[in-house]
């Protein structure tokens, strides 16, 4: 079966077929927690579990739309003028290929309550949206601050049917800005499907969960559209990438228990080093933005700040939506954050009275980075805006930058401003690399390559102030580098 433009129509038809059951093979996500609110993301699927990793794969061929010339499929490549043709093996379709978890029609609802307390509050049943990959998003508001909640997401195939699947979990709301509160958080980046290190997903998820984080941040590259045998060259294959990744048990188990913030980078927007106005095959940058919001229930605008008690404020920056296009980069000073986001950053940093400021960015601000890259503030192409942003951040004491994107772990200090940056590293050892550990730069306080891992942060108030302890971990959770920052009143 060969499907190009008709692929999406086929997927919707197949997924909308009448089913006696409604399942949650891709789990739930609890996103954007605050002092009094959180968003619950859910999706109904045709089957209870993703298709096994020994399932069949489609064949992708690409030709140039103008010349008809055959193009070679390669990782990290875009095909702006490519015409893709997807060929499924006999008897296979979009719902039966390796890792698939096809969506289905049905109804879903959310019940929640403070952990162990009294009656549940139930949000009314609603239909999932077939135009949004059979997802539904529930905004829970009016919650109590600094409180652990239980949540149950229920599905049924139609209004007159019983519940056929339930996912339970929980989350914690943020304490008020005046509260002398502790905090624990985890940050990770760069998880590629082909480089997973467990048959059920990634080892870092149970390792992070063991720390009992109050919240979690994924800095981007949650999926790699432009890698492996099935590139996301159209909308349906982009959704397939999310379904096969978030159908893994380790990810499902983590995300039902921890409030999360999702940031996008290049590979989970479109392709390597992608800019606004880019495209690959039948998939555009605008499509990528829409699918990311659809699959993560992330906030708008995509840059935001989180206050977690008296001592911690976190800024989550957006590095794709507002950068200059590839054409503009050749005619004007290249930029990443854009004027509106920079103004917001400057204003909110100045207003903050938090003990510790933590700025989380999808791509580096300090580096150092490889000379072959030109995608972030550590690269020469963005030196003008990068210099401005580093100078802005360096004004504030007890401010630390945490970055994703790079596949090695490091802690570095900018020689000009003293700004410190922590790189969390890749999600698995197989995906790590990119630097030679035997050749550190003067900027490096710490350098570790060839191994994946994540970062954790821990804020602890004391009688005379507070401490922020940052740790880089390996994929099993062992700390490989630790630094403590303290503040005394």
pLDDT of 487 reads: 80
- pLDDT average, residue stretch 184-210: 98
Whether residue 15 contacts residue 46, with contact meaning beta carbons closer than 8 Å, is answered with yes
Reduce the DSSP state of residue 387 to 3 states and report it.
helix
- pLDDT average, residue stretch 297-308: 97
Say yes or no to pLDDT of 2 above 60.
no
pLDDT of 20 reads: 77
pLDDT of 13 reads: 45
Average pLDDT, the chain: 95
Say yes or no to pLDDT of 69 above 90.
yes
Count of C-beta atoms within a 10 Å radius of residue 83: 18
Report d(CA 68, CA 370) in Å as an integer. Answer: 36
Whether residue 457 contacts residue 184, with contact meaning beta carbons closer than 8 Å, is answered with yes
Pairing of strands 259-262, 28-31: parallel
pLDDT of 19 reads: 62
pLDDT of 435 reads: 94
Separation in Å, CA 386 to CA 334, 411, 488: 10, 18, 31
What phi and psi, each to the nearest 5 degrees, are found at residue 79?
-130, 75
pLDDT of 197 reads: 97
Whether residue 382 contacts residue 416, with contact meaning beta carbons closer than 8 Å, is answered with no
- pLDDT average, residue stretch 218-238: 98
Say yes or no to pLDDT of 23 above 70.
yes
What predicted TM-score, i.e. pTM, was given to this entire model?
Answer: 0.95
pLDDT of 486 reads: 87
pLDDT of 399 reads: 98
Say yes or no to pLDDT of 12 above 80.
no
Report d(CA 474, CA 408) in Å as an integer. Answer: 11
Say yes or no to pLDDT of 134 above 50.
yes
pLDDT of 489 reads: 61
Q: Which residues contact 442 (CB under 8 A, 6 or more apart)?
A: 415
Local confidence band at 3 (pLDDT 50, 70, 90 cut-offs): very low
**Per-residue model confidence as pLDDT tens digits over 325-355:** 999 998 899 999 999 999 999 999 999 999 9
- pLDDT average, residue stretch 357-377: 96
11-15, 170-174, 452-456: which range is least confident on average? 11-15
Does 276 or 17 have the greater pLDDT score?
276
- DSSP annotation of 329: G
pLDDT of 7 reads: 47
Which of 126, 117, 173, 119 lies closest to 154 in space, CA to CA?
Answer: 126
**Per-residue model confidence as pLDDT tens digits over 402-458:** 999 999 999 999 999 999 999 999 999 999 999 999 999 999 999 999 999 999 999
**Per-residue model confidence as pLDDT tens digits over 105-125:** 999 999 999 999 999 999 999
Say yes or no to pLDDT of 14 above 80.
no
Per-residue H/E/C for 122-179: ECCCEECEHHHCCEEEEEECCCCCCCEEEEEEEEECCCCCCCCEEEEEEEECCCCCCC
Whether residue 239 contacts residue 223, with contact meaning beta carbons closer than 8 Å, is answered with no
Q: What domains can you pick out in the chain, each with its CATH number? A: 2-54+99-172 (2.60.40.10), 183-220+298-488 (3.60.21.70)
């Amino acid at each position: 079966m060969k499907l190009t433009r008709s692929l999406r129509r086929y997927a919707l038809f197949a997924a909308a077929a009448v089913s006696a059951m409604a399942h949650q093979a891709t789990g739930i996500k609890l996103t954007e927690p605050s002092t009094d609110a959180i968003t619950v993301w859910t999706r109904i699927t045709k089957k209870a579990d993703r298709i096994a990793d020994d399932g069949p794969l489609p064949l992708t061929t690409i030709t140039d739309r103008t010349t008809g010339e055959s193009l070679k499929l390669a990782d990290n490549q875009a095909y702006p003028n490519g015409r893709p043709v997807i060929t499924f093996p006999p008897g296979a379709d979009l719902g039966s290929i390796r890792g698939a978890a096809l969506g289905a029609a049905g109804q879903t609802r959310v019940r929640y309550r403070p952990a162990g307390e009294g009656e549940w509050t139930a949000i009314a049943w609603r239909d999932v949206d077939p135009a949004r990959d059979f997802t539904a998003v529930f905004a829970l508001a009016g919650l109590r601050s600094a409180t652990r909640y239980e949540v149950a997401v229920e599905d049924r195939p139609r209004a007159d049917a019983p519940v056929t699947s339930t996912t339970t979990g929980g989350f914690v709301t943020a304490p008020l800005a005046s509260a002398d509160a502790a905090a624990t958080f985890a940050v990770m980046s760069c998880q590629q499907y082909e480089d997973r290190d467990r048959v059920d997903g990634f080892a870092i998820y149970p390792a992070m969960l063991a720390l009992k984080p109050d919240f979690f941040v994924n800095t981007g590259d949650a999926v790699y559209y432009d890698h492996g045998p099935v590139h996301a060259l159209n909308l349906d294959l982009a959704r397939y990438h999310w379904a096969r990744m978030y159908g893994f048990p380790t990810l499902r188990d983590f995300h039902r228990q921890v409030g999360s913030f999702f940031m996008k980078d290049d590979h989970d927007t479109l392709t390597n080093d992608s800019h606004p106005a880019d495209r690959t095959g039948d998939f555009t940058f605008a499509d990528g933005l829409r699918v990311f919001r659809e699959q993560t229930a992330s906030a708008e605008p995509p840059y935001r700040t989180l206050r977690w008690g008296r001592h911690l404020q976190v800024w989550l920056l957006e590095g794709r939506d507002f950068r200059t296009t590839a054409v503009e980069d050749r005619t004007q000073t290249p930029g990443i954050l854009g004027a509106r986001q920079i103004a917001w950053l400057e204003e909110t940093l100045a207003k903050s009275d938090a003990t510790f400021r933590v700025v989380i960015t999808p791509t580096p601000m300090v580096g150092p980075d490889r000379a072959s890259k030109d995608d972030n503030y550590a690269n020469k192409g963005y030196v003008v805006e990068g210099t401005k942003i580093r100078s802005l951040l360096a004004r504030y004491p007890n401010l630390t930058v945490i970055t994703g994107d790079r596949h090695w772990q490091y802690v570095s200090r900018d020689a000009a401003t003293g700004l410190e940056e922590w790189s969390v590293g890749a999600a698995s050892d197989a995906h790590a690399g990119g630097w030679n550990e035997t050749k550190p730069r003067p900027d490096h306080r710490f350098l570790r390559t060839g191994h994946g891992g994540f970062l954790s942060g821990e804020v602890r108030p004391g009688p005379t102030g507070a401490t922020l302890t940052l740790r880089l971990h390996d994929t099993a959770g062992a700390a490989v580098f630790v630094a403590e920052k303290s503040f005394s009143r």
